[in-house]
Amino acid sequence: MKKIKSSDVVAYILVIVAVGITIFPFYLLVTTSIKPASEQFSSPPVLIPSSVTLGAYVNVFEKWSFQSYLVNSIVVTIFSVAFSLALGVPMAYALTRFRFPRNMNDSLAFFILSLRMIPPIVGIIPIFIIFRYVELNDTFQGLILAYTVFNLPFTVWIMRGFFIDLPRDFEEAGMIDGCSHLRAFAQVVLPLSIPGIVSTASLCILQSWNEFIFAVFLTSLYRKTVPVLLSSFIGDQQYLWGELTATASLAIIPALILLLLVQRELVKGMTFGAIKG
């Protein structure tokens, strides 16, 4: 039996307090969504609902047509992530397996990463104006395009790290057997990269799902996503607290599932491959 030191007890208490503070807002979110309306705003606050009601959830679907925002979010997320993988995976591969003129491989990779450092608002203003002229504001195409480019630097950088670690023996063996490089990529490299692609995709989905600033400025009526709906429940004058928490509770489910699935890769991905979780 390991002896328990007093410093261990202190560590335990610290961690338990931190975990408690971390998860309490989640508890509040879910319980508020099922509270009777009279208990949403009361002083002192009601921490344990006296009864359970799904009224807010019904409202969200019937009065606020949550389903149409949901469809927008799903379409934009799936297509943009698919496109950024289709474009970004080959880019990352090229950066690790071919020599670019003047050995620019690393500079190109850093350039692509630096695009991610630009605050999004800087890009949104000109994109908004250009989209006005080509009539892409408030369309699926416009939003998908914007999200694809938003995800692309991330995809290239993460997959580049993955390809650097992937041994070249397999594809070289294939190429000796007479495969073209393209075929070696399609038939040998891609199947081996599935784990990397899945975790990159999951991280991109997570970010696109919760993305707000592009969505709010590039949509106005038809293509608002779930985060934009969320922002409209709470304004200077109104507090639709039940609707807000119900929508947020629904919206967080896919994000939580993804988070649990890619937990290990999450830290690695979010630190751009620098730290292995």
Partner 1 sequence: MAVLEKYTKWLFFAPGFVVFLVVIIAPLVFSYVIMFFRWNLFDPFQKNPVFVGLGNFVELSTDLQFWGAWYRTVLFAAVVVPTEFVLGFVLALSLKRDLRGERVIKTLLLLPLAMAPITVGALWRVMYSPMFGVINYFLGFLGIPPQAWAASTQQALISTAIVDIWQWTPFVTVVLLAGLVSIPSEPLEAAIVDGASSAQVFRHLVLPMMRNVILIIVILRVMDAIKVYDILYTLTYGGPGNATTFITYRISLDAFKSWHIGLASAESFVSAMIVAALTLVFIRLISERRVAG
> Which CB atom, from 78 or from 87, has the smaller least distance to partner 1?
87
Residue from 74, 75, 78, 149 binding partner 1 (CB under 8 A)? 149
Region binding partner 1 by CB under 8 A among candidate stretches 51-59, 64-72, 166-174, 208-216: 208-216
State the Rg of the chain over Cα: 23
Whole-number Å distance between alpha carbons of 1 and 7: 17
Kindly determine how many residues on this chain lie close enough to bind partner 1 according to the rule CB under 8 A.
Answer: 97
Asked if residue 57 binds partner 1 (CB under 8 A), the reply is no
Residue from 109, 152, 158, 204 binding partner 1 (CB under 8 A)? 152
Is the Cβ–Cβ distance between 150 and 211 less than 8 Å?
A: yes
Instruction: Provide, rounded to whole angstroms, the least separation between the CB of residue 259 and partner 1.
Output: 4
Instruction: Provide, rounded to whole angstroms, the least separation between the CB of residue 31 and partner 1.
Output: 11
Contact letters for partner 1, residues 74-103 (x by CB under 8 A): -------------xx-xx-xxx-xx-x---
CA-based nearest residue to 32, from 257, 232, 234: 234
Give me the torsion for CA of 129, 133, 138, 139, rounded to 10°.
-130
Residues 241-270 that bind partner 1 (CB under 8 A): 241, 244-245, 248, 251-252, 255-256, 258-260, 263, 266-267, 270
Residue 133 burial by CB count (10 A; 0-12/13-18/19+): exposed, middle or buried?
exposed
**Sign for the pseudo-dihedral over CA of 4, 9, 10, 15:** positive
Is the Cβ–Cβ distance between 139 and 223 less than 8 Å?
A: yes
Residues 4-43 that bind partner 1 (CB under 8 A): 7-8, 10-12, 14-15, 18-19, 21-23, 25-26, 28-29, 32, 41-43
Whole-number Å distance between alpha carbons of 176 and 180: 9
Instruction: Provide, rounded to whole angstroms, the least separation between the CB of residue 149 and partner 1.
Output: 4
